[in-house]
Amino acid sequence: MHDRGSIKWTSMMLPEHVEKLKELKKEHQRVSHGEADPQAEEEWDRLIAESFNTGCLLQLSFMNGECANRVRGHVTGVNAEQGMLTVIEAGGVRTSVRFSSVTAVSPYEES
Angle at 83 between CA 45 and CA 50, to 5 degrees: 25
**Residue numbers of the domain that contains 52:** 38-107
CA distances from 4 to 1, 7, 8, 66 (A): 9, 8, 10, 23
16-63 tens-digit pLDDT = 887 888 887 776 665 555 667 888 889 999 999 999 999 899 999 998
Residue 25: what residue type?
A: K
Q: Is residue 77 in some structural domain?
A: yes
Q: How many domains does the chain fold into? A: 1
Q: What is the pTM of this model?
A: 0.65
Q: Is residue 33 in some structural domain?
A: no
